[in-house]
Amino acid sequence: MEKRRVVVTGIGAVTPLGNDVETTWNNLIAGVSGIGPLTRVNADDFPAKVAAEVKDFEPGDFIDKKDARKMDRFTQYAVAASLMAVKDAGLDINEENSDRIGVWIGSGIGGMETFENQYQNFLNKGYRRVSPFFVPMLIPDMASGQVSITLRARGFNSCTVTACATGTNSIGDAFKVIQRGDAIAMVTGGAEAPITNMSVAGFCANTALSTNPDPKTACRPFDLDRDGFILGEGAGIMVLEELEHALARGAHIYAEIVGYGATADAYHITAPAPAGEGGARAMKMAINDAGLKPEDIDYINAHGTSTAYNDKFETAAIKEVFSDHARKLAISSTKSMTGHLLGAAGGIEAIISALTIKDGIIPPTINYQTPDPECDLDYVPNEARKQEVKAVLSNSLGFGGHNATIVFKKYE
């Protein structure tokens, strides 16, 4: 069966660095952090004091106010980012093509805020005071559902829930839908709004979050003094399109998506497999799927969570996959500025990967001060780097042992 070529024609984002792609990208390149004091919940209740929160987001700018009230924030973010991505792509979804245009948007946690609020209603006032929209606001697939309703996209519609690998798995799976001919375009990525009492409590209880109270330095991937990740929120969505369809309508092309790998650690519910064994297999799988050699990759947007195990084992996995070329690769963790958006992380980082190719600028890993002997590669410390980039690999690794990797290259 002939594999169709697939390109990125539109991007949209709501992030802690800005409520659109341009602002987010400019801040990333400038090394600006979107991390600040934890305000969505009472920070006095938790050892974690900082978060990467979305600021000044107005759902009414994108969604009818009545409809917005029936959506959890993660869905609002997804709808907003999807509308921006489709507009950026100049894609007209109409009666003639809508059944060939699909949506694949994932969320790691879904409507946690809705769950907590409605559970309080139930405890205080009984079941009659629980919203009839409780379940449709809570379930993680509702971002995909609401986006398809908003766009009138009637094709392939799905939702991936693979913890922190969600966004990358979603984009990889949407890529395969187009590649095999089941759609001409897919609106895809991840969305998350996890800064709630129970979510923060859970991550604090398993000691995953940084307890550094200084927002400027709390997230320091690959640095010896890293002490946990920073919880973030938002959405990253891209329009993937079959190449011939994109060319026929004169679409702008950011990059071509060429490879996808997904594996399981089959090891532990939260800890990565020793030496990043599962992540290494996902990277090899994606590079092989792309028809590339390891030395063809110029830049890796790392999972880079700023946790002790992740950064050490991801580094080990990169060395395993790339051998001598690992020393020549540029690697950065943009989570140092965005925080960790869980199921949305891969969506944002896919957009960053495409823009790195388009603009020839590699965003930095900020707060890199004290080298870790076990993390000894080129992490593009503290300042963006101008460099021609022809191929990018983006990693996402999730609780449950999920590993996902996608590869983008310059469209030629």
What amino acid positions are annotated as catalytic residues?
164
* 3-state class (DSSP) for residue 406: strand
In order, the DSSP letters of 79-147 are HHHHHHHHHHHT----TTTGGGEEEEEE-SS-SHHHHHHHHHHHHHH-GGGS-TTHHHHHSTTHHHHHH
What phi, psi does 227 have (nearest 5°)?
A: -140, 20
Q: Are strands 391-398 and 385-386 parallel, antiparallel or unpaired?
A: unpaired
Give the sign of the dihedral formed by CA 17, CA 160, CA 151, CA 186: positive
Q: Most distant CA pair in the chain: distance in Å?
A: 64
CA–CA separation, 402 and 263 (whole Å): 6
Q: How many CB atoms lie within 10 A of CB 98?
A: 16
Q: What is the CA radius of gyration of the chain?
A: 20
